Amino acid sequence: MKISVIGTGYLGAVHAAGMASIGHDVLGADIDAAKIALLAGARPPFFEPGLPELLQSATASGRLAFTTSLREAATFGDLHFICVGTPQIVGSDAADMRFVNAVIDEMAPHLKPGSLIVGKSTVPVGTAAALQRRIDAVRGPNVIEVAWNPEFLREGFAVQDTLHPDRIVVGTAGTAARETLEQFYSSLIAQGIPFIATDLPTAELVKVAANSFLATKISFINAMAEVCESAGADVTTLATAIGHDTRIGSRFLRSGVGFGGGCLGKDIRAFRARGEELGAGAALGFLAEVDSVNMRRRVRVIDLARGLLDGSVAGRRIAILGAAFKPNSDDIRDSPAMWVARRLHELGARVTVHDPEAIDNAQAYAPELTYAREVETALEGSHLTIHLTEWDQYAELDPTAVMRLVDLPNLLEARNCLDVESWAAAGWHVTALGRSLKNRPPHQSGPGGLSMTTIPTQIRGEQYA
């Protein structure tokens, strides 16, 4: 089929290339000319594993092209996927619908009769119906139809999630649109990927419900981490033990500094705001707690850093391992690592940030911090090392070798994925979120012995707002 994809961020660029790779003719459109110039040269404007290869093969096949003209996109083909951002409004919890509305307003007069608009952006429930009214006001009833097809891709795995999704969900008002989308995704459905066809509000809700569940799961284990810190227990063992229960499952139970990124935080806030509007605020009140558990973990890292440096970070050199909100991404939106780095800087620390891919984005966002292209440079002379993004590169560091670089071998493990025993055995003084060694046998092997801090029972209150 011939389709256009409007908005070429993480979602749209991968969807455009992915759909071309399964045989559709795709025109990607974006108002950002610099982004389009890169994509037209088969170069992604952001770091995403597998995307360069996918863009190259799709472009070479002649089935993928890009434009900055929404009018051209409106007249190209019969399906138009809306993939523009719906960020949080500054000073509010609600989602900003300006970009979605602007795309619809610009395209509506030019769309071919019988075209289908397919929303993929994460939106407040009721948006599809509102967009249908908006289009009908320009084109009259029954000329252009709006459907919803939420996207569940994760950054870092976006190509895999687009070509092999766990499920395909489509919301439509009528059967013709459903059949069109079933046909569109037929090659994926043939692989056995579940196809769930439903109404518009259910399809819109599936996305925010899924992200709310994931955020809740992470905050649940981080709430347990707080309890473990007070009780002298170990949250990583607790997570392993409860994760063996197949009803619970072990994924998304990794405790640490919490979730960030462009989706989970803003989606749970926007969902709550929409719930209030719908008179269902009480049902979603728990999401406020999910949000505050998450933010408290960031504050906890600051408090632990102060504690490890005798009460004040002022003038102390701190190496920050990681800037991206998660590994295999250069995205720093709402990154816990950047939050911690900036706060420590505000408190007077001399912060040096390393990240394998996100340094350019981080530097543009927080130019006041010092950045290092090599992890060894960040560690040089540091009094405290904080591990904040779980890149493989950090798990592969040799604790004995890097210990020679630092002034003080203090490690604060805020992602619970380093082999802390080997760091402690090498002589590092290791503190890990939600863990203590109270119930563990003493470790004899390393030169310094095991020196993992028992986390103090009191969490000093500090506002994060």
Q: Which is nearer to ligand UDX, 152 or 271 (CB)?
A: 152
- Based on the residue annotation, tell me whether 417 is a catalytic residue of this protein: no
Residue 391 interacts with ligand UDX (CB under 6 A): yes or no: no
Question: In the sheet where 195-198 sits, what is the strand order?
Answer: 64-67, 25-29, 2-6, 79-82, 116-119, 145-148, 168-171, 195-198
For the beta carbon of residue 315, count every other beta carbon within 10 angstroms. 10
Q: Nearest distance from residue 14's CB to ligand UDX, in Å?
A: 11
| 259 lies in the site for ligand UDX, by CB under 6 A | yes
Between residues 74 and 257, which has the closer beta carbon with respect to ligand UDX?
Answer: 257
Phi, psi of 247 (to 5 degrees): -70, -25
**For the purposes of burial, counting CB atoms within 10 Å of the CB of 23, is it exposed (0-12), middle (13-18) or buried (19 or more)?**
exposed
DSSP percent split of the chain into helix, strand, coil, nearest 5: 45, 15, 45
**Rounded CA separation 399/396 (Å):** 9
Told to check if 263 binds ligand UDX by CB under 6 A, we report yes
- Map the footprint of ligand UDX across residues 192-231, applying CB under 6 A: 211, 214, 218
Q: By CB under 6 A, tell whether 258 contacts ligand UDX.
A: yes
Shortest Cβ distance from residue 153 to ligand UDX (Å)?
5
Please tell me whether residue 265 binds ligand UDX under the rule CB under 6 A. Answer: no
Stretch that binds ligand UDX, among 224-232, 249-257, 355-363, 454-462 (CB under 6 A): 249-257
Q: Is 253 in the site for ligand UDX (CB under 6 A)?
A: yes
Helix (H, G, I), strand (E, B) or coil at 196: strand
Task: Considering only residues 127 through 156, tell me which ones interact with ligand UDX, judged by CB under 6 A.
Answer: 151-155
Q: Give CA angle at 155 (235, 356), nearest 5°.
A: 80
326 counts as binding ligand UDX under rule CB under 6 A: yes
DSSP 357: S
Residue 20's H or E segment, with its range, is helix 10-21
Interface residue with ligand UDX among 81, 148, 325, 423 (CB under 6 A) is 325
Nearest approach in angstroms of CB 61 to ligand UDX is: 27
Q: Minimum distance between the CB of residue 163 and ligand UDX, rounded to whole angstroms?
A: 15
Q: Rule CB under 6 A: choose which of 80, 120, 254, 306 binds ligand UDX.
A: 254
Q: Distance between CA atoms of 415 and 393, rounded to whole angstroms?
A: 14
Of the pair 182, 334, the CB lying nearest ligand UDX is at 334
Work out which of 9, 261, 322, 409 binds ligand UDX, going by CB under 6 A.
Answer: 261
Q: Is 15 in the site for ligand UDX (CB under 6 A)?
A: no
Which uninterrupted H or E stretch holds 64?
strand 64-67
- Out of 45, 119, 260, 446, the residue judged to bind ligand UDX by CB under 6 A: 260
Does 290 interact with ligand UDX (rule: CB under 6 A)? no
Count of residues of this chain found to bind ligand UDX when the rule CB under 6 A is applied: 20
Report d(CA 37, CA 14) in Å as an integer: 16
Under rule CB under 6 A, residue 337 binds ligand UDX: no
DSSP symbols for 390-426: --HHHHT--HHHHHTT-SS-EEEESSS-S-HHHHHHT
Nearest partner of 48 among 259, 390, 322, 328, judged by Cα: 328
Residue tagged active-site, from 83, 228, 263, 417: 263
Chain centre to alpha carbon of residue 349: 27
Q: Which residues are catalytic?
A: 263
Residues making contact with ligand UDX (CB under 6 A): 151-155, 211, 214, 218, 252-254, 256, 258-261, 263-264, 325-326
